[in-house]
Amino acid sequence: MDYKVIQEENTPIQVRDWVKANRSKEKHSVIETNSKIYIVVTRGEKRTSGYEIIVKNIDVKETEIHITFQYKDPKPDSLVMQVLAYPLLILEIEKTDKTIVFHILR
């Protein structure tokens, strides 16, 4: 399945509004527009840099699309910046009637 990773500033207003309301929480959502679907995953507020969200797998089934994400944390001995960070991943896919199912690996 084709998808694009999209920066927040390049998304429709309804996606930006959802991110603004939920950035500090660990959540995920599917936001549909007229022609695209946006899959948004947030990790909440973190006290350092180095946190990531990675797409591990997309499995398209007859009536569902299973997307597996992995949360990556900085290694204990890695150099990180002491800043408030809000890890975020936004995927853009073509509109579909299939149900999006989230799987998170921690």
pLDDT tens for each residue of 16-44: 999 999 999 999 999 999 889 999 999 99
Q: How many CB atoms lie within 10 A of CB 53?
A: 18
- The number of CA neighbours under 13 Å toward the Cβ of 105 is 12
Domain total of the chain: 1
pTM of the predicted model as reported, rounded to 2 decimal places: 0.93
Measured CA to CA, the distance from residue 98 to residue 68 in angstroms comes to 16
- Whether residue 101 contacts residue 66, with contact meaning beta carbons closer than 8 Å, is answered with yes
pLDDT tens for each residue of 40-96: 999 999 999 999 999 999 999 999 999 999 999 999 999 999 999 999 999 999 999
| Residue range(s) defining the domain that contains residue 74 | 4-105
